[in-house]
Amino acid sequence: MKRFKYIHILAALFLLLGMGVQSYVSYSRALFSLQEKMDLETQIAQEKLQFELYDALDASSQIADKVKKCLEHPDELYDKTSELLNRYPNFYSCYVVFPPYYYPEEGKWFGLTSYRTKDSIISRPFGNAEHDYFEREWYKGAAQSTEGYWSTPYRDDDFDEPIYTYSKVMRDEEGKLICVIGIDFSLNWIHNLLEHFKPFEEAVFMLYGSNGTLLAMSNGAPADGFGNSWIITSKTLQPINIKMVTAVPKRHIIQSLSLGTLLPFGVFVLGIFVVGLLIRRMTRDERDNARLETEKEVMSHELEIAHDIQMGILKDENEKKKAQANGDIELNTLLVPMREVGGDFYDFHREGDELWFIIGDVSGKGVPAAIFMSAAVNLFRAAGVRANSPKEIMQEMNAVLSENNPSLTFVTAFVGCLRIPTGELIYCNAGHCAPIISSQDSVFSIQMEPNIPLGYDGRYSFVEQGCMIGEGEKIVLYTDGVTEARNSEREMLGLKRWSEIVANKEDMYGAIKAFIGQAEPTDDITLMTIRKTSPVQPMTLRVPCHEDQWPVLRKAIHTFGLCNGMDKKGLKKLEVAAEEAVVNILHYSRATEIEMVLSILSLQEARLSQHSAFCIQLSDDGIAFDPTAHVPNEKATDERQVGGLGIHLIRQIVDELHYERKENKNILRMVKSLNR
């Protein structure tokens, strides 16, 4: 009996020991899972914060570019600072302040600012004895930094909530301080961020400044503070040195334990070794499952935020309305990501009579492609401020994307500039799908040079091309998600079917969805259409009668000839002929202004051959001078002045040369057949 008693006691001890071990393991597993979840939430907050703060870095660079152009007229900076506040809703104010007596007539303090009120954006001068910005932290910190300065949070006299300031100095080539650029932004959006990032319902998030000041706290904090019944973790968010503290009640660990976790220990009484193996396997499997579930939940939440951010980057309906305000074009866009986020993108902006646009596709899928996509859009916008042609934009984007690209992620893209009155379309392609031109009676793909995609080789030299867009013609741009769309039989839509859809002028996206049917989408679908609704006009350009204006005229001739299909050799010769004619005007007419009109003559107008012709008409308001009546200059080439190869060279290049004096103007007309 005693033996059986000891056996029962021993069995009970083994059972209690097993239950204790299992309880400890379950508690450790739950604690580990909870801490992992808290760490992942904090990491998402870090990425979100860095994404938000990137706007401040980008905006300060845009302001710096504008300051360089406006030092003589600094009041023009009001428009730029106001425009930035319209673009970035998280900015409270943007200002540019100059060092003491930089503009002597303005006194010691001179600066300008645009700031947001409840209903509007106000621009006004900034700085005086009462508001001495030289003593502010953001001014002193920026003056001592070469990379930009993030201030500690503070309450400004004009705002009700804590704000941060990002400030950056601008210096001349000798290192002398020109100005300090400052951007204030609120921490209001962080309150919303805290409410979304919660591993558990009762979790509390708190943000502290570098000086220990409590900046923000999510709802649900205990009135009596945090004691031993809470698990607390912290992490410092960069670059603004905010400390994020996360607190979760320990009872969540206890609640996660269940009797079901003790059932395997029924086997424990049969042998300590068997039970040990079961515990080890169970612990490993459940930990893996808990990690997977946590990562799945966090990823789903992250993708929702990423989707909102990505869609927010794209131009909205208001921007489209602005581009179409003159009624000379119709612009439509559509982006449907295959997942929550994707790698397709488009962008556009209008400058006067020119519409600049891009459409592109990043290799890969999901969040990595979305991040690369946002970088490409911002690069297009930044390059568009400085570049003068689609080729220059493509070169600059490629140089940046190719640098530090270990994953070899690449981007196919098409960048174009449509000069709306004349119909000239200048474009540069980087491995993207050829756009389709649709008119009343024809549909065809634009001719493409085989340039490489962006991101491979930063030194690659892209080729620029051109074509003409007539009244009523439509440019249809798309990504390969359109032509490679598959139906339930795994059959691709293909370029032929896609061209037929465009030709039939039907609802393009509706036709794509009808073809796909019930099949799962295989890629993002992006469309952009631009239709010219105004008549085609000749290219007219007026410049002062000065030698430095010839490059302006030459570029206009080159672009017009390129768009009208003129071969490079013939176009180069025509540029030489035009240069000789312009040099004659500069040297002999004493004119104040030159007007150049470029046009394409029809077969009836040309009267030269069975082909249309390129016509260059030069007019000036100088004294009467007929260059066609002068005897050719027979001097050796090295004895002539620049551009003075003679009127005989012009006659050898063009098919028709005609001069007339009309309304007190010299008018020289040069005609060149497009087939010669």
- Provide DSSP, 263-325: GGGGTGGG-HHHHHHHHHHHHHHHHHHHHHHHHHHHHHHHHHHHHHHHHHHS--HHHHHHHTT
Average pLDDT, the chain: 82
Mean pLDDT calculated for residue range 543-549 = 93
d(C-alpha 94, C-alpha 60), whole Å: 9
Lowest mean pLDDT among 277-286, 409-418, 453-462: 277-286
Mean pLDDT calculated for residue range 228-256 = 71
Ramachandran area for residue 195 (φ above 0: left; ψ -120 to 50: alpha; else beta)? alpha
pLDDT at 647 over 70: yes
CB 183 within 8 A of CB 59: yes
Give the pair of three-digit tokens for residue 205: 């998030």
Lowest mean pLDDT among 243-247, 289-293, 663-667: 289-293
d(C-alpha 464, C-alpha 391), whole Å: 6
The residue written with tokens 């056996």 in the block is: 7
pLDDT tier, 636 (very low <50, low <70, confident <90, very high otherwise): very low
pLDDT tens-digit series, residues 70-97: 888 888 888 888 888 888 877 888 999 9
pLDDT tier, 262 (very low <50, low <70, confident <90, very high otherwise): very low
Task: Give residue 654's pLDDT.
Answer: 92
CB 146 within 8 A of CB 140: no
Instruction: Return the C-alpha torsion angle 539, 542, 545, 546, nearest 10.
Output: -80
d(C-alpha 212, C-alpha 242), whole Å: 9
Checking DSSP bridges between strand 121-125 and strand 110-116, what pairing results, if any? antiparallel
SS (HEC) of 2-34: HHHHHHHHHHHHHHHHHHHHHHHHHHHHHHHHH
Q: ∠ CA 90-358-487 to the nearest 5 degrees? A: 105
Q: What is the pTM of this model?
A: 0.56
Highest mean pLDDT among 4-8, 34-38, 171-175, 606-610: 171-175
d(C-alpha 479, C-alpha 453), whole Å: 14
Residue 67: name the closest of 75, 59, 57, 77 by CA. Answer: 77
Instruction: Return the C-alpha torsion angle 266, 268, 274, 276, nearest 10.
Output: 120
pLDDT tier, 433 (very low <50, low <70, confident <90, very high otherwise): very high
pLDDT tens-digit series, residues 352-399: 999 999 999 998 777 778 888 888 999 999 998 888 899 999 999 999
Give me the phi and psi of 448, to 5 degrees please: -125, 140
d(C-alpha 534, C-alpha 329), whole Å: 7
pLDDT at 604 over 70: no
pLDDT at 641 over 50: no
Q: How many helices (H) and strands (E) does the chain have?
A: 16, 25
d(C-alpha 280, C-alpha 21), whole Å: 11
d(C-alpha 573, C-alpha 567), whole Å: 10
pLDDT at 148 over 60: yes
User: Residue 558: CA atoms inside 13 Å, Cβ hemisphere, count?
Assistant: 14
Residue 537: name the closest of 473, 468, 585, 485 by CA. Answer: 468
pLDDT tens-digit series, residues 499-534: 999 999 889 999 999 999 999 888 889 999 999 999
- End-to-end CA separation in angstroms for the chain: 120
Lowest mean pLDDT among 64-68, 280-284, 305-309: 305-309
More confident: 257 or 161 = 161
Task: Give residue 119's pLDDT.
Answer: 80
Give the pair of three-digit tokens for residue 505: 């002028």
d(C-alpha 486, C-alpha 638), whole Å: 66
